[in-house]
Copies of this chain bind each other. A is one copy, B any other.
């Protein structure tokens, strides 16, 4: 009567910090701060149906493998680690036909004069997802999350339809603020990951800043378009933009004028704009986004 459908399993949120010991040779140390999640799928019906675990590489082993590969590969770009891990699981485990490795990297900046002191930057989290499929091979999606940006002016919102439930006034000058989640898919699996990430992040910030926006959708598209135009290795961008509403406070009851100075930053509800921008010649994503 019942049957098994799509499934996967893995170890989520293995927290790895890697230190490159440059200080040992008179230089400076460097760190990578990662949150690694692995997920495997394949011939796993037996464990679901009867508890036969002979095909189940344990999640504890997956965690150990993350640590071992971090040791072997060293302080590489997170894409390199994710590619190696995903390939390893598929190639070493016959029943496993697809592996997904996601890495969140927390940036740090140097402080003090020591060469070994750091402060965690909280401006954004860097993201990498590699899917390695036995049939279609590996794919790389990179991105960032938790980046909060704001334009104090240069944003409008009007010309929308008005139905019986519409009370919103048109805005010709509003604050536009959002917490960006953006992910972009690369065409290839060998490239200069650090440069590509940096170029995409710069394109994103520039597009947000430079767009004279008539809607957050327009800003979203501009971000995707700018990344695709600035980073030729990228062929698809997916963006989610919560609209962090800033409402002008009515100070008239207190005899005060509020000429776009004092705003209330609201929590909930919030608009949420999600969209995809593709290069005209985007490649087939296969399971890259799964």
Contact of A167 among B60, B70, B146, B255 (CB under 8 A): B60
Complex CA distance for A39 and B274, rounded to whole angstroms: 9
Complex CA distance for A186 and B31, rounded to whole angstroms: 36
Complex CA distance for A250 and B24, rounded to whole angstroms: 21
Q: A3-B280, A71-B256, A277-B5 are in contact. Are A19 and B166 (CB under 8 A)?
A: no
Q: Which B residue's beta carbon lies closest to that of A8?
A: B274
**Contacting pair A275 B47 (CB below 8 A):** no
Give residues 30-60 of A contacting B (CB, 8 Å).
31, 33, 37, 39, 44, 47-60
Complex CA distance for A111 and B113, rounded to whole angstroms: 27
Give residues 17-32 of A contacting B (CB, 8 Å).
17-21, 23, 29, 31
- CB-CB under 8 A from A272, the residues of chain B are 9-12, 37, 39, 59
> Whole-angstrom distance from the CB of A259 to the nearest CB of chain B?
7
Complex CA distance for A111 and B29, rounded to whole angstroms: 29
Could you give, for residues 273-288 of chain A, a 1 whenever the CB lies within 8 Å of some chain B CB and a 0 otherwise? 1111111100000000
- Counting CB contacts under 8 A, is A135 at the interface? no
**Contacting pair A48 B218 (CB below 8 A):** yes
> Whole-angstrom distance from the CB of A204 to the nearest CB of chain B?
10
Give residues 93-115 of A contacting B (CB, 8 Å).
93, 108-109, 111-114
**Contacting pair B123 A29 (CB below 8 A):** no
Beyond contacts A12-B271, A57-B161: 12 other A-B pairs, Cβ-Cβ < 8 A, are: A4-B275, A5-B278, A12-B242, A17-B262, A37-B269, A53-B158, A53-B160, A68-B254, A71-B249, A71-B258, A114-B210, A116-B151
- CB-CB under 8 A from A149, the residues of chain B are 111, 117-120
**Contacting pair B261 A65 (CB below 8 A):** no
Interface size grouping (class) on chain A: 35 or more
Contact of A160 among B57, B67, B118 (CB under 8 A): B57
> Whole-angstrom distance from the CB of A195 to the nearest CB of chain B?
19
> Whole-angstrom distance from the CB of A209 to the nearest CB of chain B?
3
Complex CA distance for A152 and B269, rounded to whole angstroms: 23
Contact of A270 among B12, B55, B160 (CB under 8 A): B12
- Counting CB contacts under 8 A, is A142 at the interface? no
- Counting CB contacts under 8 A, is A78 at the interface? no
Complex CA distance for A271 and B37, rounded to whole angstroms: 9
**Contacting pair A15 B268 (CB below 8 A):** yes
For the complex of A and B, 9 pairs with smallest distance between CB atoms: A122-B122, A112-B209, A51-B214, A5-B276, A7-B275, A117-B209, A120-B148, A59-B271, A48-B221
